[in-house]
Structure formats: structure tokens, C-alpha cells
Amino acid sequence: MTVREQTAEQPVRPHAPGRSTPISALGAAARALRASRKRTTAFDRFADWVSEAMGKPANIVFWLVLVVSWTLVFAVGGPDMASGRWLPAWFTSQGFNFPLNLVTTIAELFIGFLVATAANRAQSSLTALLDQIDLQEQQIEATESYIVTLIKENTELTDEVHTLSVETAKNAALITEVHRLVSTLVAAGSADGSD
């Protein structure tokens, strides 16, 4: 069991004057923070995957090869290739920019949304982690304060035990003397009663 768990699970004792207990609300806050974390959905997992894939070198290389290949097809493909007769008419017409731009714009839009979703999740996770670190620091401070209080109380009790043992040692001699005198009186009383 860790110190944090011990602090969070510390039972609340009756509050005696001069005694203090650690802040038990911090343990409850930590449990509430863990319970409030968002469950990942299929969309979130997909967004994380797309975001991760977009940032990998393999993705950049793929698109670079595709653009270079497309350029080379038209640069070295000859007059038939450059005329575009082998492509669909809607793609080679004056309005070919519309379908091409439509597809790329929509793809960029959705990729942007997916990356933003992944970034939001990462930010939320980071914020939760920082909150948990702050909470743990508060628990450590509360535990340290509690330990200092317990050490002070222990020192006071040790001083009281020492004082009591000194008084007991002083009284032991007196008790021994009283016992001797009572024994003498009992012995003298029994001697007078037997005569």
C-alpha cells in the first residue's frame, strides 16, 4: 500500500483537542476525478489512429511518391498522356478542378476534425494528469503536516511518561518507607495483642 492510498483511506477518528487528522476529502476528490474520466468511443479511437498516422513519415513519403508519380506521368507520358484523353471526360474538362478540389477539400476537412478530436483528447488527458499531480501534492502536504503533528504529540507523551516515571521513582521510596512503618506497626500491634 502506498503513502497516497494510506492517506486517502485514513479513517476519520474523533477529533481530540490538540490532535488533527489528514484531509480525507482529497481521497474522495481523487476517486471522483478517476470516475469522471471520459470513456473512449470508436470515433475517439479512429481519430487517434488518423492523427497518429498523419504524423508518421510513411504517410509523408506516400503522398510525396504519389505527387511525383502523377507529375512524371504527365511530364514523360507523351502527347496522348498530356492530352488527358485516357481520363474520364468530367475529369479533363474545364471544370475538372471542381471534383478534384471537392474531394481533397472534404478529405482535408475531415482529417482536420479527426486530428482536432485527438488533440482535444490529449489535452484533456494532460489536464487530468496535472490535476491528479496537484491533488497528490496536496495529499503529500496533508500527510506531512499530519506526521509533524503526530511527532509533536508523541514527543509530548514521551515527556509526560518521563515525568511520571520520575515521580513514580520518588514515590517508590516513600511507599517503601510507609510499608516498612506499617509492617513495624503491625508487628508491634501483634506483639501487644499476644501478651
Higher pLDDT, 195 or 144: 144
Per-residue pLDDT tens over the stretch 14-26: 444 444 444 455 5
Selection from 28, 65, 56 nearest residue 139 by Cα: 28
How far does the chain reach from its first CA to its final CA, in angstroms?
76
What residue type is assigned to position 25 of the chain?
A
pLDDT tens figures, 89-109: 766 666 656 666 777 888 888
Which pLDDT does position 160 carry in this prediction? 95
Q: Do residues 154 and 87 touch, judged by C-beta distance below 8 A?
A: no
Distance (Å, whole) CA 88 – CA 51: 33
Cell (9 digits) for 36: 469522471
Please tell me the predicted confidence (pLDDT) of residue 14. Answer: 44
Q: Evaluate whether residue 135 is within a structural domain.
A: yes
* Structural domain includes residue 153: no
In this structure, is residue 78 part of a structural domain? yes
The C-alpha cell 501534492 sits at 137
Residue 184 lies in a domain: no
96 within a domain of the structure (yes/no):
yes
pLDDT category at 181 given cuts 50, 70, 90 is very high
With respect to residue 29, please indicate whether it lies within any of the assigned structural domains.
Answer: no
What integer is the mean pLDDT of 65-75? 81
Task: Decide if 97 is inside a domain.
Answer: yes
Q: Which domain holds residue 111?
A: 40-145
Q: Is residue 134 part of a domain?
A: yes
Say whether pTM exceeds 0.85.
Answer: no
pLDDT higher than threshold 70 for residue 113: yes
Which residues, 6 or more positions from 20, have their beta carbon under 8 angstroms from its beta carbon? 145, 146, 149
- Please tell me the total count of domains within the chain: 1
Mean per-residue pLDDT of the chain: 76
Please say whether the beta carbons of 21 and 153 come within 8 A. Answer: no
